[in-house]
Structure 1
Amino acid sequence: MCVIRKCAVSFSLMLASLSAYAELPASVADALKKVGIPQQSVAIYVQAVEGSNPILEHNSDKSLNPASVMKLVTTNAALELLSPTYRWKTEVYRDGEVVIDKLNNGNLQGNLIIKGYGDPNFRAQELWRLLMSLQQAGIKGIDGDLVVDKSYFAKNVGNGKSFDNESWRAYNAEPSAFLVNGRNTSFKLSTTGTGVNINQEFALPEVQIINNMKLNQGVCGAWRNRFSYTVSPDNNGATVTFNGTFSPDCGERYLELSLFDDERYAFYTFKKLWRELGGKFNGSLKIQEIPSTAIKVVEQVSDPLGYVVRDINKWSNNLMARQLLLTIAAEISGPPATEAQGGMVIKNWLATKGLKFDELVIENGSGLSRIERISAGHLGQMLVSTYHGAVMPEMMASMPILSKDGTVMGRLKDSRPNGRAHLKTGSIDGVSAIAGYLLDANNHRHVLVMMVNHTKAAESKNAQDALIEWVHQQP
C-alpha cells in the first residue's frame, strides 16, 4: 500500500505517459506503418488556437531535429524583437577627395568603402541601384581600391564546412555582413532543336561554362540525376563543366551554385555593374573597417522585414535565415554578431513570453543542421502564442499556403484543406517536418506540428497529409 503523495506522483506520471503516447488517428498510423516508420520516431502536437489544451499529443516533449521548420522560430523572434518595419542599411563612404575632370565627371582620388549590415536580400539589382546613387552623387571614376567593411558580423560566422558533400551548392553558402545576391550563380538549362543550352541568369565574366550536355528525348522525371558538373576554380574565376543529358520535356530548369566566397562574388559583381554604368575602376579588393577619415556618401535601405520573411519561409531560404539570426544578435546584443549570441537572444525572448524551452538548440537558425533541436509541443505552444500576438499577420503571411505557393505548392491540391492552411515544411536526410496553422471545416483555426526523425523520414509525406486532413475534419 502506498502513501497518498507517492500514489499521486505515480498517477501524474501515468497521465504524462498517456499524453506523450496518445493514440494516433488511424489514417496517420496506417500511413506510417505502410512505409515502415515506427511511431516512436514521430512527434505530433495539435491545438486549437482558442483552446487551452492540445487535442492531440504524441511524443510532444521529445527533443527532435526540426530541419527547416526551425525557421519559424528565427523569423518569429525577428518579427517581435526587430518589428516588421525593420530595414537593413548598406552604406558607402569615400576615403579621398573627388576631383572634377574636363568632362565634368567626378574622380575619387582614394578608396571607395562599402559597409554591410547583413541585408539577407541584397540582390544584384540593389547593388546596381546603390552604385547608380553613387554616380548621381558625383563619383564616376575610382582611382583607389574597393574596401568592404564586414565588421557587423564576427569574422568566424559559419563553421567553414558545408552541410553535406555538395560544397558548391548554393544552400551551403555561409553568411556575411555584405552579402550580394546570396553569392549565388544560377545556371538555366533549356533546349533547342539541336542541343542543350546552359546560361547564367546573372552572367559574371569570371565564370566560364563548358557544355558537354546531350539531348535526351525521354520524360523529364529525375532530371537532376541525369547530369553532373565539375567546378575548377582559379585566380581569375571558375570554370564549370557540365556532362550528361537533359530532356526537352523539362522546359527550363535551374541549378544554383555558390562558386565564390562572399568577398570575391561581391567584388566581381561590383566591377561588372560599375563598368556597365559607365564608371571607371582598376583597383583591387580590401577587407577592413572604415577608417576614421572616411566620409559617408550614400546609404540605401532594404525592404521591410515583414516582406523579407516571406522569402525565408515560403521558399525555405537557408542563407537568408542565417543572416537573420546574426542580425538579431547584432541588433540586440551588439556587433560583431555571432550565431551563439543570436541563439541566446531567442531563448531569452521566449522566456519573456513564459516559454522555457530547455531542449532548444540553435546552431544557425535555418534548420540546415544536424544538431538543432526543439520539441513538437514547444514549437506548437510558440505558434499558439504568436497567433495571439501583434506580429501574427506578418508571421502567417510569410508561410506557404497549402497547395497554392512555396514549398507546399500543389500539395493536397484536390483536398478540402486546399488553401486553408499556412504550413512550413522542413526536410534533410533522416528528417521531415511540417508545422503551422490550419483552418478546419468549421472555421476554427488549429496549430499543427509533426516531426519525423527516422531513416525513412522522407516517406512520411502521406502521413503528414493524413494529419492535415484529420485536423481539418475536427468538429
Structure 2
Amino acid sequence: MGLSRRAMLAGAASTLATSAFGQAPLTSPRPIARVPAQDAIAKLVAERGFSGDFGIVVTDMRTGEVWEDIAGDKAQPPASVTKAFTALYAIEALGEAHTFETRVFADGEIKDGILDGNLILAGGGDPNLVTDQVAALAQQLKETGLREVRGDFLVWDDALVNQDEIDASQFDYLGYNPTITGLNLNFNRVHFEWKLEGEDYVTAMDARSQNYRPAVTTAQIRVVDRTSPVFTYRDVGDMDQWTVAGSALNNEGSRWLPVRHPALYTGEVFATFARSHGIVLKVPKETPDAPTGLPLVRFESAPLREMMRGMLRYSTNLTAEAAGMSATAARSGALRGLRTSALGMSRWADKRANGIAPSFVDHSGLGDQSRVSPSDMVHLLSAPDVMSTLRPIMRDIPLVGADQQVIDDPRVSVRAKTGTLNFVSTLAGYVRTKNGHDLAFAFFASDLEAREAGKLTGAESPPGARGWNRRARRLQQDILKHLAFRSA
C-alpha cells in the first residue's frame, strides 16, 4: 500500500480559516503537507496486514495542513458515512426547522359526528412516524367529535416517489432495507415474534412501539418444515406473506421484518386506534389522488435538525432516504425517484465542496455501488460552514484504552459517523486533539473481492466478515488515539 503526500483543500481551507476562526487567510495558496514523525499511521496500517483497500486523509481545520494521506484518492463504498452528506444536503435544502406532517382529511360533509364521504390519512414523507404517534393522531380525531365515516377510509403515500426497497441486491427479509413511501410507520418494519408451544410454533406480527403493540394483518407469516432458505416473501396484493424455516428458529425469539405496503400498514394501525375510540372505519384502501377536503387533524414531526441528529446516531436508513428525497424535491421543484435523487445529491456535493466527485446510488449508504474517496470526504467536512452544522449533531465516538476502558480526557473529543457493510468499514468526522487542534478525517476500508464472495454464500453475515470489520474498527481506534494524543 503506497503512501502519498500532497497539499489539498487550499482554497476551502483558507476560506474556512477566515470565516470559522476569525483569522486572516493563509498566505500560501497551497499549504504544505506535514510528514509525521516515523510515519506512525502508515506503520499501524502495515502492521495489521489489512486485506483490501485502506485510505485515510486527515487535515487541520485551521491551517489546511494535511496531516495524513494514505491512498486518499481511492474511491470506496462509503457505507453509512453517506448519511453525513445527506444530513447536510437535507438541512441546507429544507432548513433546520423543517417538519414533516401526517394529516387526516374529511372529503365530504360532517353532520352530527357523521362524515358523509371519505376519510383520508395522508403522509407527508415523515420517516420517523411510530405507532404511539398514530395513536395520538387517532385521539385527536376523536376529540373532533367524529363518530362514523360512511365513505371509504383512504390512505395516500405519494408525497415521495415509492421505492420497493433501498437496495435490490440485499436480502428481502432485512429490516434495514425497507420500502420508501410518503406514509411510513415504525421505519416500515413489522415485529415478528415466535414461541414453541409443544411441537408447534405460535407466531405474532405487530406494530409495536414504546406504549402500544397493535396486531396487524397486512403482514402474515407461516413456519414451514425446511432447512433453507430461512425466509421467503410473496406480495399478495394488499398483504406481505412470509414463510420462515422452522429449523432456523429457537424456542422463542423475535426480529423485525420489512413492510412492503407501508401505507396500508399505517392505515390498519390508525383504524385500530380509531375503532377503540368508537369511530367506525372501513378497511383502508390506497388512493393515488392527492388529498382534498377539510383537514381535521395532523401530527408534526420533530424539527429536521433533531431528526438528522437521530439519523447520525442510530443510522436509520429510511430516515436518510426520505430526507434526501425530500431535499431533492425541494431543490428541483419536483418529486424524483431514489436513484435520480441520489444523483442530485452527488451533483450538489460537487458544487458544495468545490470540485469533489462522489457517486451516490442512495442517501443511506446501503447500496455498495456508491463511491467516495477519503480526500473528497474530508474536502466536504472542511468546506465553509460545514463543521458548524455537522459536528454538533454527529455521534460522540469514545476512545478506548488497552484495558478496554473509555479514556476520559476533557481535552479530547471525537464526533463522527460510522459506516459498516460486510467487509466495508468507514469512519469520518472531526477530532479535537489534546493540543487544541481541530482535525477533519476520513478512514475508508473495504475488501470488495471478499464482499462479493460473501454474497455468494447467501449468508446475512458471511464467514470472515465480522472478524474483518472488527479489525478495521480496532485500527480506526488506534489511529484516532494517535491523532488525539500526539505531541505535535
Above 0.5 in TM-score? yes
Q: CA deviation at 1:345?
A: 4.6
**Alignment partners' CA distance in 1, 2:63 and 2:275:** 60
The residue aligned with 1:319 is 318
Q: Which residue in the other structure is 1:461 paired with?
A: 473
Select the residue among 182, 191, 194 that pairs with 2:187.
Answer: 182
How much has 1:16 moved relative to structure 2?
7.6
- Give the distance between the partners of 2:337 and 2:233, measured in 1 at CA: 30
After superposition, what is the alpha-carbon deviation per residue over 1:348-376, rounded to whole angstroms, capped at 9, x for unaligned? 5445545222x211221110112211111
The answer (yes or no) to whether the contact 1:189–1:253 under 8 Å persists in 2 is: yes
Q: Could you tell me which residue of structure 1 aligns to residue 287 of structure 2?
A: 287
Deviation (angstroms), 1:266: 1.9
Percent identical: 19
Q: Which residue of 1 aligns with 2:131?
A: 124
Matches of 2:114 and 2:403, distance apart in 1:
56
Give the distance between the partners of 2:368 and 2:349, measured in 1 at CA.
Answer: 22
What letter corresponds to residue 261 of structure 1 in structure 2? H
TM-score of the superposed pair, with normalisation by structure 2? 0.75
Q: 1:354 to 1:461 in 2, by over 3 A?
A: closer
| Distance in 2, Cα, partners of 1:173 & 1:72 | 20
Q: CA deviation at 1:304?
A: 0.3
**Higher alpha-carbon deviation: 175-184 or 66-75:** 175-184
- Displacement of 1:148 in angstroms is 2.5
Q: 8 Å contact 2:55–2:71 — kept in the other structure?
A: yes
- Aligned partners of 2:92, 2:137: CA distance in 1, in Å? 29
2:271 corresponds in structure 1 to 271
Give CA-to-partner distance per residue, 1:20-58, whole Å, 9 cap, x none: 9999944564455434425xx111111122221221111
Partner residue of 2:81 out of 53, 59, 69:
69
Deviation per CA, 1:158-207, whole angstroms, max 9, x where unpaired? Answer: 36574444202211112111112222113468999xx9997654342425
Structure 2 counterpart of 1:132, one-letter code: Q
The alignment status of 1:431 with 2:424, answered yes or no, reads yes
Give me the whole-angstrom Cα distance separating, in 1, the residues matched to 2:333 and 2:38: 46
| Residue in 1 that maps onto 2:366 | 368
- 1:424 alignment partner AA: K
Report the equivalent of 2:307: 308
Distance 1:24 1:378, change over 3 A: farther
Distance 2:38 2:182 in 1: 46
> Mean alpha-carbon deviation: is it higher for 336-345 or for 362-371?
336-345
Shift of 1:115: 2.4
1:335 is aligned to 2:346 = no
User: How far apart, in 1, do the equivalents of 2:244 and 2:308 lie?
Assistant: 35
1:139 aligns with 2:132: no
Residues 126, 291 of structure 1: alpha-carbon distance in 2 compared, 3 angstrom cutoff:
closer
- The CA deviation string for residues 372-413 of structure 1, in whole angstroms up to 9 with x for no partner, is 111111211211236x45852xx2243221239xxx9x9964
2:178/2:259 contact within 8 Å kept: no
SS at match of 2:273: helix
Letter in 1 for 2:366: L
Contact 2:56–2:72 (CA under 8 A) maintained in structure 1: yes
SS of 2:73's equivalent? coil
1:407-461 deviation digits (Å, cap 9, x = unpaired): x9x9964346798211211111332101111121223221121001214652422
1:54 aligned to which of 55, 66, 70:
66
Letter matched to residue 444 of structure 2: M
Please state whether the residue corresponding to 2:370 is helix, strand or coil. Answer: coil
Within a 5 Å distance, the mapping from 1:186-265 to structure 2 comes to 186-187=191-192, 200=206, 201=208, 202-206=213-217, 228=230, 238=241, 241=244, 243=246, 255-265=255-265
Please name the residue that 2:90 is paired with: 78
* Letter paired with 1:97: E
Residues 152 and 146 of structure 1: CA distance in aligned 2, closer, same or farther (over 3 Å): same
Give the corresponding residue for 2:463.
none
Q: Describe how 1:405-424 pairs up with structure 2 within 5 A.
A: 413-415=405-407, 420-424=413-417
Matched, 1:298 2:310: no
Residues 142 and 274 of structure 2 are in contact (CA less than 8 Å); yes or no, is this contact kept in structure 1?
no
Aligned-residue offset at 1:317: 0.8
Q: CA deviation at 1:241?
A: 4.4
TM-score normalized by the length of structure 1: 0.77
Distance in 1 between residues matched to 2:394 and 2:388, nearest whole Å? 13
Q: Is the 8 A contact 2:179 2:260 kept in 1?
A: no
Which residue in the other structure is 1:113 paired with?
120
In structure 1, list runs of 5 or more residues that go unmatched. Answer: 1-12, 101-105, 214-226
Tell me the secondary structure at the aligned position of residue 365 of structure 1: coil
Does the C-alpha gap of structure 1 residues 383 and 417 become closer, same or farther in structure 2, counting only changes over 3 Å? farther
Aligned CA-pair RMSD: 4.0
- The SS at the match of 2:66 is coil
| Post-superposition CA distance 1:275-331 (Å, at most 9, x none) | 223321124403222365x22223332110111112211111111101111110122
Q: 1:210 to 1:20 in 2, by over 3 A?
A: farther
Alignment check: 8 A CA contact 1:32 1:463 kept: no
Return the letter of the residue paired with 1:414.
Answer: V
Larger RCO (alpha carbons 8 Å, 6+ apart): 1
1:209 is displaced (CA, Å) by 6.3
**Are residues 82 and 317 of structure 1, via their aligned partners in 2, closer, same or farther at CA, if it must alter by over 3 Å?**
same
Equivalent position of 2:15 in the other structure: none
1:452 aligned residue:
445
Q: Contact 1:43–1:62 (CA<8 Å) still a contact in 2?
A: yes
